[in-house]
């Protein structure tokens, strides 16, 4: 029986796409680095814009808090569903080409939530938007790992800083636009501007695949074992820190307002300080890795985040809590990008997809878990789990050794010499018989 058509056609299509990318002009390292940073910034800006209009969209479809939470869950589910597929596509077609397609997708699908008039329509729109964001995250990280390999130095943290600054810019401009534009018009304008930027980014992104055509063929001809356990552990490290990011994003302002009595504007400054220190920490990530080393930076960053989280939830002072949020952002700044960069070095695009999928569950599960714990133990105790998971991430970093996970040796007790006991038991039996 002959193979199905799509299986027979898949390899010729793959060769055709690789041939097209090999003919694309190869960008310089600087051009490619700027293009990838711009792609991260575009993704952050679009997502920040959407976040700024969530209340308006919620009112537009008539969603209460629980219904909106279910709709937002579709955003994360769409991203999770698309990440593994994106890794496979990037490995076959080239991450640059997939990143270019993903950039178009994230701009187009960002309009859909603004067009929704009911909760089911919003869920469907967010599912598509989430799939596009998941696709662009994996593809952008894959190209970023290639840039690191060409440069021979850590650069991915700086690219993630572009995402953070893009998110801040999108949120700020989105808040201003909310006073003058309705949601559909605003999102259409953002999508149009994003597509114009994407048109500029497509040539260097697609040309980046020409750099790795030959090495990919060599790797495919001599496959090596992928360290799946390490990829999962790296995803857990990323997920433990993403848990903290999601928790502070969704619950930090509420803690400042309800538990510490901060005014609304001051409460919003908690997330702004967290995001700003995270962005600045990522800008300095390359220099910090060169000075401290990857392992020290990861362990030190996670422990610093744990101290900041404990400071924020155990104080009764608003300024001290704000400082704690800023410390958490600084500590977590480089953990996620360094973990994903290591996954890319070990497993390529597929490795990035695996670790990103595992890591994204922290961002997905964090806010609902915080809400559940807060309803039973209070919000300060619930936010204290950010510190706990940061410490867990530090322990996992110590356990990762190259491409394997070190399992702590369990002390083995020396074997007991039971011969005297047996002899004594025999003597007792003889006495009993006598």
**DSSP string over 100-150:** HHHHHHHHHHTTHHHH--SHHHHHHHHHHHHHHHHHHHHHHHHHHHHHHHH
Q: How many domains does the chain have?
A: 2
Is residue 254 assigned to a domain? yes
Residues 80 and 114 in one domain: yes
Residues 106 and 254 in one domain: no
Which residues 6+ apart lie within 8 Å of 109 measured at CB?
A: 125, 128, 129, 131, 132
Residue 131 belongs to what domain range? Answer: 11-218
Residues 171 and 264 in one domain: no
Is residue 416 assigned to a domain? no
Instruction: For residue 77, give the nearest of 41, 120, 124, 140 by alpha carbon.
Output: 124
Is residue 242 assigned to a domain? yes
Which residues 6+ apart lie within 8 Å of 144 measured at CB?
A: 36, 40, 155, 156, 159, 341, 344
Domain boundary among 218, 236, 264: 218
Instruction: For residue 329, give the nearest of 278, 370, 260, 397 by alpha carbon.
Output: 278
Domain boundary among 170, 186, 218: 218
Is residue 415 assigned to a domain? no
Residues 35 and 70 in one domain: yes
Residue 55: CATH number of its domain: 1.20.1250.20
Residues 302 and 198 in one domain: no
* pLDDT, one tens digit for every residue, the chain (434 residues): 444 433 344 444 445 444 544 555 677 888 888 999 999 999 989 988 887 787 788 888 888 766 777 787 788 788 888 887 888 888 888 888 999 999 999 999 999 999 999 999 999 999 999 899 889 988 898 888 888 888 887 788 888 888 888 888 887 788 788 788 898 999 999 999 999 999 999 999 988 777 644 433 333 433 445 577 888 888 899 888 888 887 887 677 778 877 888 776 676 677 778 888 988 998 888 888 888 888 899 999 999 999 999 999 999 898 999 999 999 999 998 898 888 888 888 887 788 888 888 887 777 677 677 777 877 888 889 889 999 999 999 999 988 866 566 655 544 445 445 455 444 445 433 334 33
**Is the Cβ–Cβ distance between 50 and 110 less than 8 Å?**
yes
Is residue 141 assigned to a domain? yes
**Residue 297: predicted pLDDT:** 92
Residues 17 and 151 in one domain: yes
Residues 207 and 234 in one domain: no
**Residue 404: predicted pLDDT:** 65
List strand residue ranges (DSSP E) for 329-432, in order. Answer: 400-401, 404-405
Distance of alpha carbon 168 from alpha carbon 170, whole angstroms: 5
């Amino acid at each position: 029986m002959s193979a199905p058509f799509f299986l027979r056609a898949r390899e010729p299509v793959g060769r055709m796409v690789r041939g097209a990318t090999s003919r694309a002009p190869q960008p310089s390292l600087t051009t490619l680095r700027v293009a990838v940073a711009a792609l991260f910034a575009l993704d952050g800006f679009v997502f920040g814009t959407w976040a700024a209009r969530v209340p308006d969209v919620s009112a537009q479809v008539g969603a209460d808090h629980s219904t909106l939470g279910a709709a937002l869950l579709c955003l994360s589910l769409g991203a999770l569903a698309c990440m593994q597929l994106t890794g496979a596509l990037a490995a076959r077609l080239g991450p640059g080409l997939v990143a270019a397609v993903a950039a178009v997708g994230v701009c187009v699908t960002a309009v859909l939530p603004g067009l929704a008039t009911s909760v089911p329509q919003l869920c469907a729109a967010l599912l598509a938007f989430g799939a596009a964001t998941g696709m662009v995250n994996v593809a952008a990280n894959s190209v970023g790992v290639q840039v690191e390999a060409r440069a021979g130095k850590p650069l991915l943290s700086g690219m993630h800083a572009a995402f953070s600054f893009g998110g801040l810019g999108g949120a700020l401009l989105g808040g201003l636009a909310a006073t003058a534009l309705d949601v559909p018009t605003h999102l259409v304008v953002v999508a149009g501007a994003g597509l114009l930027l994407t048109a500029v980014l497509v040539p260097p992104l697609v040309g980046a695949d020409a750099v790795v055509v030959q090495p990919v063929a060599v790797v495919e001809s001599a496959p090596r074992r992928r360290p799946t356990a390490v990829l999962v552990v790296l995803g857990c490290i990323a997920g433990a820190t993403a848990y903290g990011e999601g928790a502070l994003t969704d619950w930090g302002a509420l803690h400042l307002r309800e538990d510490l009595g901060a005014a609304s504007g001051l409460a919003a400054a908690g997330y702004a300080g967290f995001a700003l220190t995270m962005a600045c920490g990522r800008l300095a990530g390359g220099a910090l890795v060169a000075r401290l080393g990857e392992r020290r930076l990861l362990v030190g960053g996670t422990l610093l985040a744990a101290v900041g989280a404990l400071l924020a939830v155990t104080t009764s002072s608003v300024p001290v809590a704000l400082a704690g949020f800023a410390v958490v952002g600084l500590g977590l700044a480089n953990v996620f990008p360094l973990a994903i960069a290591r996954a890319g070095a070990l497993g390529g695009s597929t490795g990035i997809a695996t670790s990103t999928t595992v890591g994204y569950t922290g961002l997905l599960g964090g806010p609902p878990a915080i809400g559940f714990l807060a309803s039973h133990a209070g919000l300060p105790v619930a936010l204290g789990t950010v510190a706990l998971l940061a410490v867990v991430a530090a322990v996992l970093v110590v356990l990762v050794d190259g491409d394997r996970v070190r399992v702590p040796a369990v002390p083995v007790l020396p074997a007991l010499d039971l011969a005297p006991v047996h002899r004594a038991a025999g003597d007792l039996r003889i006495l009993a018989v006598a």
